[in-house]
């Protein structure tokens, strides 16, 4: 098993803590080991590029990202969007904020929930008290208590979504209508001191999943993401510092490396998690058989999430966690088998994310 991602000074949670500490004087986690990489500022802009792992910086269209790359950090495990967004929104690692998978078992609902769309694996909406999901006070509420205004700039279609209601309780939501507006809204909002602006840029992840990293569509997505970054950096007013990062990287998976779990003998097992790290419940012998049939590594999930698990976080963990072999995706029924790229595991391509300074 690869080592779990770092939370001791070189993880996404430490970057968030560094910014909170700069603005308020305190944070729940320790800051970055290399404090000097983040400049002093009155207002910080944190831009998250979905899917822009450190490995993606070698791709066509990433020149401005390579020029701004200062450190390589670890995304939290599992390396997936909802978990990393919760890490930003709480300033805590997954063991403490409780978001531990893309497809998560909710014992109170007795169902597996897609935590990006808040639907079941069958596509049915999941009503929930979304705003109360993350611990209180979250990052945005702590900033407000310290007279720092938190603002998130997002594509307009995310306004009011269940995911936004989970992640941005206490933050002002600023809708952006196109690529130019993402940059322009961010720059305009950064003109006031005493703010933390979190701008989310989705293009790279979507193109990687749907078209693959060698596609023209992926190159165009990199160009669009770089355009947002360059526009924010060029327009940032004095007193504002622009920091960029990602939620995870991407791993290309060929059709022959997609390991579909379709044997009816496994239908009595419950599956959740991610294709690169599958949570399982049920008969121990059957779980061993799944591991043998896929070549995956069966581990105790606590070994990856740590002994400081809250009761809520622990309630979502499988009895066992099956780590997929390098370059492969394990796809039980209900998991998406159509994608070109996957993430969620422990390989460097998934874990390593850039810290960019504009």
Nearest residue to 138 (alpha-carbon basis) of 172, 113, 168, 110: 168
What is the number of domains present in the chain? 2
* Start-to-end CA span in the chain (Å): 35
Largest CA distance in the chain: 63
pLDDT band at 22 (very low <50, low <70, confident <90, very high): very high
297 belongs to a structural domain: yes
3 belongs to a structural domain: no
pLDDT at 3 over 90: no
Q: Within 13 Å and on the Cβ side, how many CA atoms surround 167?
A: 29
Radius of gyration of the chain, Cα coordinates, nearest whole angstrom: 19
Q: Give the per-residue pLDDT at 61.
A: 93
Judgement on whether residues 157 and 210 belong to the same structural domain of the protein: yes
Q: Summarize pLDDT for 121-144 with one digit per residue, the tens.
A: 999 999 999 999 999 999 999 999
pLDDT band at 1 (very low <50, low <70, confident <90, very high): confident
Judgement on whether residues 314 and 184 belong to the same structural domain of the protein: no
Cα separation, 326 vs 267, in Å, equals: 25
139 belongs to a structural domain: yes
228 belongs to a structural domain: yes
Q: Give the per-residue pLDDT at 165.
A: 98
Judgement on whether residues 46 and 151 belong to the same structural domain of the protein: yes
Judgement on whether residues 275 and 137 belong to the same structural domain of the protein: no
In the chain, what are the helix, strand and coil shares in percent, each to the nearest 5? 35, 25, 40
Angle at 276 between CA 132 and CA 87, to 5 degrees: 30
pLDDT at 194 over 90: yes
Q: Give the per-residue pLDDT at 306.
A: 81
Residues 2-8 have a mean pLDDT of: 88
pLDDT at 292 over 90: yes
Selected residue with higher pLDDT from 3 and 197: 197
Residue 27, φ and ψ in degrees, nearest 5: -160, 165
Structural domain boundaries enclosing 326:
255-342
pLDDT at 2 over 90: no
């Amino acid at each position: 098993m690869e080592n779990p991602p770092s939370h001791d000074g070189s993880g996404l949670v430490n970057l968030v803590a560094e910014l909170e500490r700069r603005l308020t004087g305190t944070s729940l986690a320790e800051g970055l080991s290399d404090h000097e990489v983040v400049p002093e500022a009155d207002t910080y802009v944190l831009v998250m590029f979905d899917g822009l792992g450190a490995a993606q910086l070698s791709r066509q269209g990433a020149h401005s990202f390579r020029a701004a790359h200062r450190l390589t950090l670890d995304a939290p495990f599992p390396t997936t969007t909802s978990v990393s967004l919760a890490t930003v929104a709480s300033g805590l690692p997954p063991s403490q904020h409780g978001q531990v998978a893309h497809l998560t078992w909710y014992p109170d609902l007795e169902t597996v929930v897609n935590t990006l769309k808040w639907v079941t694996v069958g596509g049915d909406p999941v009503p929930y008290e979304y705003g109360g999901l993350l611990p209180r006070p979250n990052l945005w509420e702590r900033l407000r208590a310290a007279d720092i205004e938190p603002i998130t700039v997002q594509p307009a279609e995310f306004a009011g979504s269940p995911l936004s209601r989970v992640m941005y309780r206490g933050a002002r939501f600023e809708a952006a209508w196109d690529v130019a507006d993402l940059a322009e809204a961010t720059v305009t909002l950064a003109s006031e001191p005493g703010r933390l602006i979190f701008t989310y840029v989705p293009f790279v992840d979507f193109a990687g999943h749907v078209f693959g990293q060698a596609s023209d569509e992926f190159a165009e997505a990199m160009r669009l993401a770089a355009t947002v970054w360059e526009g924010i950096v060029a327009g940032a007013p004095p007193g504002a510092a622009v920091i960029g990062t990602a939620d995870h990287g991407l791993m290309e998976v060929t059709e022959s490396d997609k390991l579909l779990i379709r044997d009816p003998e496994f239908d009595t097992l419950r599956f959740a998690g991610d294709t690169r790290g599958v949570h399982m419940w049920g008969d121990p012998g059957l779980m061993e058989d799944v591991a043998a049939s896929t070549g995956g590594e069966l581990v105790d999930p606590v070994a990856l999430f740590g002994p400081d698990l809250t009761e809520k976080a622990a309630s979502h963990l499988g009895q066992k966690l099956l780590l997929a072999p390098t370059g492969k995706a394990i796809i039980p029924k209900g998991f998406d088998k159509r994608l070109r790229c996957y993430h969620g595991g422990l390989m460097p391509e998934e874990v390593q994310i850039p810290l960019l300074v504009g």
